[in-house]
Chain A
Amino acid sequence: MPRRPPNQEERGNYDDLAALLPIFGAVLLTPAIANLFHTGTSLFGLPLDMLYVFAVWILLIAGAWWLSRRLPQITPPDDPSQDLKVPPELPSADSRSE
């Protein structure tokens, strides 16, 4: 499925999200927060602490999957096309084809 290429602003947002995702993951898994779920209770017969760790884990994977479809292609610096920046007001060929 062809996806609309993100514009400059969106791209910046995705860049930031890509940095925030692992940081949020790390923060959620610090003892300070993880221990809030160390209650000795269970949910659906499973310990809450384990469910919490796995839930964060799944969220991280889902977030990475979501971002992987939106972050721009990786272009090695040898690729000359990277330097030819299209001015933002000119619609790119891709967005016109939709």
Chain B
Amino acid sequence: MLSLDYVILIAMAYIGLLFLIAYTSDAFAHHRIGRFLHSPMVYTLSIAVYCTSWTFYGAVGTAARSGLEFTAIYIGPTLVFVGWWFLLRKLLIISHSQRITSVADFLSSRFGKSSQLAILVTIIAVVSVTPYIALQLKAITSSIQAVTVSREGAGNLGSFDELTLALGVAVCMALFTILFGTRHVDAREQHPGVVAAIAFEATVKLFALLAVGIFVVYGLGGGMGEVYRKAAEAGLEIYEKSPFGSRWVALLVLSASAVICLPRQFQITIVENSDENFLRTAGWAFPAYLLLMSIFTAPIALYGLATMPAGSNPDMYVLTLPMAAGWEGLALFAFIGGFSSATSMIIVASIALSIMVSNHIVLPLVLRGSRGAEVGSDRDIARLLLRSRRFSIAALVSLGFIYFWLTKDSDALAPIGLISFAGVAQFLPAVLAALYWRSANLEGAFWGMLVGFLVWAWTMFLPSFETSSPWVASVMEHGPWGIAALRPQSLFGMTGVDPLVHAVFWSLLANCSIFAVVSVSTSQGALERIQSTLFVDVFRRSTSFQPQTIRGSATTSELFFVAERVLGWQRANDLFDAAGVSRSGSARLDVPPEFIAELEKELAGAIGSASAHILLTSVVAGDAISLEEAMRIADETQQAIEYSHELERTSQELRVTAQQLQEANAKLQELHRQKDDFLAHVSHEIRTPMTSIRSFSEILLTEQDLPEEQARRFISTIHTESVRLTKLIEEILDLSALEQGEREWVNQSIDGEEVLGDAIVVCEALARKREVAIEMGPRARYAPIFANAGRLSQVYINIIANAISHNEAQQPRVHITSWLADGHYIVEISDNGQGIPEPYRKTIFDKFVRAGRSDLEGGYVGLGLGLNIAHTIVDKLGGTLELTRGHLPGACFRVTLPLDHSARTAVEKAS
């Protein structure tokens, strides 16, 4: 047994340690040292304020009474934190950018900076959370009793009784909270000292519970499996007593919403957060913390049930099991762990609630009363806030104490945790809509929440007084005024459902449906519309955008006066200097609206958005925000998105255009090079005949006594060369005409065979002169094609003439054959000459390419343009001209032309 004085001394010493930690952390933070305080781990541990004494002691009790149900209270928050990327991240970023100070401020800011909504949220929070504070006091006194009760069961509270103890704890907690929670009114309601103390307490309670768990399971029980075996031997049901059902789901929903909406969780997770990226760690570390907290819960409960005497309170197994084993030191450690859970909850909850009460209830009342006109000294509003916060803290803890006092004889406190969860769960629809539903509006949120709250009060809060009030008992039995349909635990005849499920179902159903229906059927105000865009589209907003919700003019001195009253002279002065606003000017229209918006934001960080808005509108004379501006802001988001898409598309187009330009440039250069080549060739071709013409004519001019015969030969050479020049120029002109696109080029339906026959006749004279035999292979009888007869004839003549004139065989022969195949008319002209040497086969159709040697006998030498012209013509006719291997060993050219379709079908029909 531990002596009471000793336990109280230890508890006091522990509170003293908390003071020390909070004090040094505050000092560190003030001097910007102590980086470890500003770390994701401290943040995660401080979130563990979620685990109150209700979970520290009560989880074992719940496990003993109803099995796995206790895990639901932890798994709900696990699901929320594991999904941090969606919900908590958005909540955090919005809250930081809007300088949100509490959950009431968050909802009021989103729904048009409404005071009435903030007041409603504050009242619901106070009503739901005050009993929860009482529960903590109850847990502390019960645990002190548990560790000081002797094994014989005789109470040993001595001169103290339960009430004095609870009062002492309440006073200590209120003092601590006032000292460290209300040191100053900050731009962002952050309390590094308190956070450090809470994180420390989280460590203590985790290690205390783990120590007890390891001791019970491995020290006393002999291992996990052994604990279960013994429990089964003792006749206990070790399996889940009833299947998972609606109560399990309701608990998951409640605990998930509690970890978002409970004022203390919002305070720690959102308001006290100093770096958004801490969520990354908290997203997995906080669930891991919860897992560790609950890993030994079920074994402790089973071991306690199996070994402790019947009738002992399972809620206190964490303390009584080590006590019964004689490990008083461990029991004391466990007591400190439970004490930590209780005190941390009281501290954070009262800070969060006091901020809400002072910002949303006290300040608006004062501002409305004075109309902001009274002359005040430096920071009088700030001082008023601090005073009202201190008073609120004292009042809240007193309320908790009074609640505890009134109900100390009943066990009604036990389910208070869940009642509290269900109360704040009424915020959940509005919080989710604030983040994701653009057209949710104030009317909907207000009425939904109000009705949800009333249903909750009727179905859940009222029944908690059943044992202490006969009237409540009779209402529950028969319904009010005898209306059975309104009985609190069986509304509209819904019976046979767990009371918790019943209350959660009806309250959230009423809340959500009224919220949705009213939101859809009423419209948003201008300010609401702006705020909804700022909240819902927080990730899409363009950076420079600053909503100007207050328009009009004010003298700078008036503005400065307001700022000074809230922020103090120094901060206000810094703010005005940074914005470049001179304070001396008293003329109106001096202050840019951007600055008023900035100032409003700054004030909102201290006194909440609704109060800041009231305060500034009382000073700034002018019209309220126009609807046009609201529309502009709504459009801005859309425009930003469109602009970004536009940019992306344009840059893609630019890339494609650049690519095309590059290709066109390469093509141009290639053409340019070809033109240069062509010019060089032509000049070369012209120079040779020109040179001989010039030199021979010079000789003829200067040498008077030239023999007649020689002179004739010279003149004949000059003539030949001029013919060659003319021929060359004709061919160049011809080529150029072909390439430019000839004007008189007309295609007609003709017979290809006829054209080929004419061409052969033309060439026969040349063949006879050269003594070349023209042989006829098999010929097509009739080849209808759509072509220009003159040009086609030019192609055939060119090829046949080439075959004749370049043939140096002993018995030169030219072989001509033609046939129809696959809708094409094909002509092959081959000779038995040298053929085209391998290196030229690829380039034979290019300009100025001449295969073979120059003609030594001075005969006609090709210019290298003929085949090129032929190739171009065939191309134009839609056919191909190619070099193949044919009948005779020499070169073989094949001309393939498409048959004329209409004529062909006519032929087929005729045959």
Q: Any chain A CB within 8 A of the CB of B631? A: no
How far does the alpha carbon of A58 sit from the alpha carbon of B83 in the complex, in Å? 15
* In the complex, chain A residues whose CB is within 8 Å of the CB of B249: 30-31
Q: A18-B83, A87-B651 are in contact. Are A68 and B280 (CB under 8 A)?
A: yes
- Contacting B at CB under 8 A, from A59-97, are 60-65, 67-68, 71, 73-74, 76-80, 82-83, 85, 87
How far does the alpha carbon of A73 sit from the alpha carbon of B542 in the complex, in Å? 19
* In the complex, chain B residues whose CB is within 8 Å of the CB of A57: 71, 74-75, 78, 287, 291
Q: A26-B79, A74-B93 are in contact. Are A49 and B240 (CB under 8 A)?
A: yes
A64 contacts B276, CB within 8 Å? no
A50 contacts B86, CB within 8 Å? no
Q: Which chain B residue lies CB-closest to A83?
A: B543
Binds A, one of B154-162, B205-213, B220-228, B673-681: B220-228
Q: Any chain A CB within 8 A of the CB of B89? A: yes
Q: How many residues of B contact A (CB 8 A)?
A: 52
Q: How many residues of A contact B (CB 8 A)?
A: 46
Q: Which chain B residue lies CB-closest to A43?
A: B225
Q: A26-B252, A64-B284, A68-B281 are in contact. Are A53 and B68 (CB under 8 A)?
A: yes
Tell me if B's interface is mostly helix, strand, loop or mixed. Answer: helix
* In the complex, chain B residues whose CB is within 8 Å of the CB of A12: none
How far does the alpha carbon of A22 sit from the alpha carbon of B87 in the complex, in Å? 11
* In the complex, chain B residues whose CB is within 8 Å of the CB of A73: 277
Q: Which chain A residue lies CB-closest to B275?
A: A74
Q: Which chain B residue lies CB-closest to A75?
A: B276
A46 contacts B248, CB within 8 Å? no
Q: A25-B79, A82-B543 are in contact. Are A46 and B93 (CB under 8 A)?
A: no
A42 contacts B228, CB within 8 Å? yes
Contact partner of A18 among B75, B86, B246, CB < 8 A?
A: B86
Report the minimal beta-carbon distance from A21 to chain B, rounded to whole angstroms.
5
How far does the alpha carbon of A21 sit from the alpha carbon of B539 in the complex, in Å? 22
CB-CB contacts of A43-57 with B at 8 A, as 1s and 0s? 011110110011001
Report the minimal beta-carbon distance from B226 to chain A, rounded to whole angstroms.
7
- Contacting A at CB under 8 A, from B501-558, are 538-539, 541-543
* In the complex, chain B residues whose CB is within 8 Å of the CB of A1: none
* In the complex, chain B residues whose CB is within 8 Å of the CB of A53: 68, 71, 75
* Total of A-B residue pairs, C-beta within 8 Å: 130
Q: Any chain B CB within 8 A of the CB of A8? A: no
Q: Any chain B CB within 8 A of the CB of A2? A: no
How far does the alpha carbon of A58 sit from the alpha carbon of B538 in the complex, in Å? 32
Report the minimal beta-carbon distance from B248 to chain A, rounded to whole angstroms.
6
Contact partner of B238 among A47, A68, A77, A79, CB < 8 A?
A: A47
Q: Any chain A CB within 8 A of the CB of B6? A: no
CB-CB contacts of B55-90 with A at 8 A, as 1s and 0s? 000000000000010010011001111111110010
A35 contacts B244, CB within 8 Å? yes
Contact partner of B225 among A19, A23, A46, A83, CB < 8 A?
A: A46
Q: A50-B298, A67-B85 are in contact. Are A78 and B291 (CB under 8 A)?
A: no
* In the complex, chain B residues whose CB is within 8 Å of the CB of A63: 82
Report the minimal beta-carbon distance from A54 to chain B, rounded to whole angstroms.
8
A74 contacts B248, CB within 8 Å? no
How far does the alpha carbon of A58 sit from the alpha carbon of B542 in the complex, in Å? 39
Q: Any chain B CB within 8 A of the CB of A38? A: yes
A38 contacts B85, CB within 8 Å? no
How far does the alpha carbon of A28 sit from the alpha carbon of B240 in the complex, in Å? 17
* In the complex, chain A residues whose CB is within 8 Å of the CB of B542: 83
* In the complex, chain A residues whose CB is within 8 Å of the CB of B252: 26, 29
How far does the alpha carbon of A2 sit from the alpha carbon of B836 in the complex, in Å? 68
* In the complex, chain B residues whose CB is within 8 Å of the CB of A85: 644
B244 contacts A71, CB within 8 Å? no
Q: Which chain B residue lies CB-closest to A22?
A: B83
CB-CB contacts of A29-40 with B at 8 A, as 1s and 0s? 111001100101
B93 contacts A77, CB within 8 Å? yes
Report the minimal beta-carbon distance from B301 to chain A, rounded to whole angstroms.
12
Q: Any chain A CB within 8 A of the CB of B8? A: no
How far does the alpha carbon of A21 sit from the alpha carbon of B85 in the complex, in Å? 10
* In the complex, chain B residues whose CB is within 8 Å of the CB of A35: 243-244
Q: Any chain B CB within 8 A of the CB of A10? A: no
A71 contacts B97, CB within 8 Å? no
* In the complex, chain A residues whose CB is within 8 Å of the CB of B283: 64, 67-68
* In the complex, chain B residues whose CB is within 8 Å of the CB of A21: 82-83
How far does the alpha carbon of A93 sit from the alpha carbon of B651 in the complex, in Å? 21
* In the complex, chain B residues whose CB is within 8 Å of the CB of A68: 280-281, 283-284
How far does the alpha carbon of A65 sit from the alpha carbon of B252 in the complex, in Å? 22
B224 contacts A46, CB within 8 Å? yes
Which among A15, A26, A77, A80 has the greatest number of chain B C-beta atoms within 10 A? Answer: A77
Q: Any chain A CB within 8 A of the CB of B847? A: no
A61 contacts B288, CB within 8 Å? yes
Q: Any chain A CB within 8 A of the CB of B887? A: no
- Contacting A at CB under 8 A, from B215-244, are 224-226, 228-229, 238-240, 243-244
Which residues of A pack against B, CB within 8 Å? 15, 18-19, 21-23, 25-26, 29-31, 34-35, 38, 40, 42, 44-47, 49-50, 53-54, 57-58, 60-65, 67-68, 71, 73-74, 76-80, 82-83, 85, 87
User: A31-B246, A74-B93, A82-B543 provided; 14 other pairs, C-beta below 8 A?
Assistant: A25-B75, A29-B252, A31-B245, A31-B249, A34-B248, A35-B243, A38-B244, A46-B228, A47-B238, A49-B68, A61-B287, A64-B81, A64-B283, A67-B85
A sample of 18 cross-chain residue pairs with beta-carbon separation below 8 angstroms, ordered by A number, consists of A22-B79, A25-B82, A31-B243, A40-B239, A45-B226, A46-B225, A47-B239, A57-B74, A61-B78, A61-B284, A61-B287, A64-B287, A74-B277, A74-B279, A77-B538, A77-B539, A78-B97, A80-B543
